[in-house]
């Protein structure tokens, strides 16, 4: 005789298959009744849960955005640091080569050019009345600069704006008066051809409104009560780093510089700051107009 076990109502595990199915169905119906009751009597509870869930999603999105932005800033900072380290390595390598290759009493064009940029790394600190002769110079640094130029430059040395040592001083003075925070760093020296040395430098300045003509449309937004234009507002206060190539011609018999001509690259830094060639070209044209008007 076969015994058929009767499952307890609270023991699903020991129930037969039909009984388990019935019990599962009963539990599902109870859960559905609870859900229906919540929906019917507490809709605000579901709305609150939904809003809380949405807030959690938005918060996660904001956290992800902040993380990506922070990561991007870190990457940019690291890239700048790496570039600075590379330039420092180049500078130290240049200094090492100068020290190794220089006999104790020799005068070489490499040494002269390197010393030139060291002395003029921040321009000149003199007034226009102090240009005529070195005797009128009240600034010790100015005396050192003038003495150096008279010693290493040919009397009729050729430069971008003319001839002579005083023309060199005038060029530096003009830059220094316009850009009080001027910094010039020598990056690389190399021989271009016989008696020619190619120097690569980077000049750093802070952009100000004084760099442009006051009446320039780049400065004044005439459609808005002569307010500063958005383009200038975007530029003012920014650091401008101008890569420049300077070609030195050396007289090996007289141990003096015969010519010194600079070729600055204004397009690259302004294009980097403004993001498009049209605005960069406008700024450069007006800047050069300001330089011509002030000379």
With 60 as the cut, is the pLDDT of residue 8 above it?
no
Strand pairing class (162-163; 220-221): unpaired
More confident residue, 80 or 38: 80
Strand pairing class (162-163; 183-193): unpaired
Burial level of 263, CB count in 10 A (0-12/13-18/19+)? exposed
Residues 6+ apart with CB under 8 A from 212: 218, 219, 232, 286, 287, 290
Integer Cα distance of 118 and 33 in angstroms = 87
Residue-wise pLDDT for 167-195, tens only, equals: 999 999 888 888 878 999 999 898 876 77
CA trace torsion 93, 96, 98, 99 (10° rounding): 180
Q: What pTM, to 2 d.p., does this model score?
A: 0.59
Integer Cα distance of 73 and 143 in angstroms = 45
With 50 as the cut, is the pLDDT of residue 137 above it?
no
DSSP string, 129-184: GG-S-GGG---HHHHHHHHHHHHHEEEEEEETTEESHHHHHHHHHHHHHH-TT-EE
Integer Cα distance of 181 and 187 in angstroms = 19
pLDDT the model gives residue 57: 82
CB atoms closer than 10 angstroms to residue 281:
15
Which residue, among 291, 256, 42, 60, has the nearest Cα to 160 in the 3D structure? Answer: 291
Residue-wise pLDDT for 216-231, tens only, equals: 555 555 455 555 567 7
DSSP string, 85-97: HHHHHHHHHHHHH
Residue-wise pLDDT for 107-117, tens only, equals: 788 889 999 99
- In the chain, what is the straight-line distance between the N-terminal and C-terminal CA atoms, in Å? 123
DSSP string, 251-282: ETTTTEEEEEEEEE--HHHHHHHHSSHHHHHH
More confident residue, 51 or 147: 147
Q: Give 112's Cβ-side CA count (13 Å radius).
A: 24
With 80 as the cut, is the pLDDT of residue 81 above it?
no
Are the C-beta atoms of 126 and 142 separated by less than 8 Å? yes
């Amino acid at each position: 005789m076969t015994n058929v076990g009767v499952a307890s109502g609270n023991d699903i595990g020991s129930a037969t298959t039909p009984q388990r199915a019935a019990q599962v169905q009963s539990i599902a119906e109870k859960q559905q009744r609870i859900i229906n009751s919540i929906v019917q009597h507490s809709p605000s509870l579901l709305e609150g849960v939904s809003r809380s869930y949405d807030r959690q999603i938005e918060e996660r999105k904001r956290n992800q955005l902040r993380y990506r932005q922070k990561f991007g800033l870190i990457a940019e900072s690291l890239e700048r640091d790496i570039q600075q380290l590379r330039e420092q390595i180049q500078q130290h390598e240049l200094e090492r080569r100068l020290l190794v290759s220089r006999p104790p009493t020799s005068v070489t064009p490499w040494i002269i050019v390197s010393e030139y940029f060291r002395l003029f790394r921040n321009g000149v600190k003199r007034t226009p009345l102090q240009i005529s002769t070195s005797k009128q110079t009240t600034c010790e640094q100015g005396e050192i600069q003038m003495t150096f130029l008279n010693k290493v430059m040919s009397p009729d040395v050729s430069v971008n704006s003319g001839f002579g040592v005083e023309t060199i001083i005038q060029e530096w003075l003009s830059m220094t008066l316009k850009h009080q925070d001027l910094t010039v760093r020598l990056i690389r020296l190399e021989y271009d051809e016989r008696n020619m040395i190619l120097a690569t430098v980077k000049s750093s300045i802070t952009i100000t409104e004084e760099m442009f003509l006051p009446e320039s449309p780049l400065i004044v937004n005439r459609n808005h009560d002569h307010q500063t234009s958005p383009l200038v507002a975007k530029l003012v206060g920014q650091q401008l780093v101008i890569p420049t190539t300077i070609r030195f011609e050396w007289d090996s018999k007289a141990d003096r510089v015969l010519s010194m001509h600079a070729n600055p690259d204004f397009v690259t830094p302004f294009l980097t700051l403004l993001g498009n060639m049209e605005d960069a070209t406008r700024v450069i044209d007006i800047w050069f107009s300001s330089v011509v008007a002030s000379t």
